[in-house]
């Protein structure tokens, strides 16, 4: 069985951010490879960040000996893994999504509106009329304006946390949206397991969570 792990981070999460987790997984015999978000490597156009091009970017980054691997995503990295797993499911042994708050377009729109990001409505309605300020904005535009259905076709595990990145409890709207996303994935044929952890959004910043994360990643039996 492959021991390869590939990490796609969230916005602003550089290699140093993930070093403690990478070191932990490596110490336990896993070969870990970290891929920087394309939108954080260079100026990107809308076309650069479209799903087919993003999947090509991931494939170009992967080591040649990583035919099969465990995929790990947190926050926005979850979206790109979801797209990839809809197109290349045979390469992923288990897909672990930590707080995939990018969800699908209509749910992402409501999620962002709930936390006061009103510009999301313009991106959702008519992206061609919006001036994109930076790569992060362009990537969000691509995600929320693409109404196609991207459902992982491999074994998938979601880990939801109880608090956001300000360490505040998620409100009832976000909890409802998360449940809707789970139901939508299952309805569309995703082989999904859902776990809940009482911790903040950036679950992988607390070393006490590393054993839990590794077991979820490897799809081992864990207590929920």
- Per-residue pLDDT, 158: 97
The topology under which CATH files domain 4-217 is Rossmann fold (3.40.50)
- Per-residue pLDDT, 211: 96
Contact 38, 142 (CB under 8 A): no
- Per-residue pLDDT, 39: 93
The domain limits of the chain are 4-217
> Which parts of the chain register pLDDT below 50?
221-224
- pTM of the model as a whole: 0.92
- Per-residue pLDDT, 69: 96
Q: How does pLDDT run across 77-125, given as a tens digit for each residue? A: 999 999 999 999 999 999 999 999 899 999 999 998 998 888 788 888 7
SS3 label, residue 68: coil
The set of long-range contacts for 100-104, using a CB threshold of 8 Å and a minimum separation of 24, is 100/73, 100/75, 100/158, 100/181, 101/75, 101/174, 101/201, 102/75, 102/76, 102/78, 102/143, 103/177, 103/178, 103/181, 104/149, 104/150, 104/181, 104/184
How many angstroms separate the Cα of 108 from the Cα of each of 1, 4, 26? 35, 30, 34
- Per-residue pLDDT, 70: 97
- Per-residue pLDDT, 222: 43
> Going by C-beta distance under 8 Å and a sequence separation of 6 or more, which residues neighbour residue 116?
none
- Per-residue pLDDT, 88: 96
- Per-residue pLDDT, 130: 52
- Per-residue pLDDT, 182: 97
Burial class (CB in 10 A: 0-12, 13-18, 19+), 195: middle
């Amino acid at each position: 069985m492959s021991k390869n792990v590939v990490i796609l981070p969230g916005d602003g999460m550089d290699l140093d951010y993930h070093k403690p987790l990478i070191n932990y997984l490596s110490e336990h015999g896993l070969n870990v490879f970290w891929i920087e978000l394309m939108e954080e490597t260079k100026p990107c156009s809308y076309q650069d960040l479209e799903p087919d091009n993003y999947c090509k970017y991931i494939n170009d980054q992967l080591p040649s000996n990583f035919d099969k691997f465990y995929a790990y995503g947190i926050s926005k990295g979850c979206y790109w893994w979801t797209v990839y797993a809809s197109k290349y499911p045979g390469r992923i042994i288990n897909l672990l999504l930590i707080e995939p708050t990018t969800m699908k377009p209509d749910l992402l729109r409501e999620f962002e509106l709930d936390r006061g990001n009103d510009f999301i409505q313009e991106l959702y309605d008519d992206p061609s009329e919006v001036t994109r300020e930076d790569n992060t904005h362009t990537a969000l535009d691509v995600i929320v304006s693409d109404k196609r259905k991207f459902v992982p076709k491999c074994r998938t595990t979601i880990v939801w946390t109880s608090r956001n990145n300000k360490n505040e409890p998620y409100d009832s709207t976000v909890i409802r949206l998360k449940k809707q996303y789970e139901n939508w994935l299952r309805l569309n044929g995703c082989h999904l397991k859902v776990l809940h952890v009482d911790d903040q959004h950036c679950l992988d910043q607390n070393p006490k969570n590393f054993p839990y994360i590794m077991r979820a990643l490897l799809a081992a039996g864990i207590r929920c």
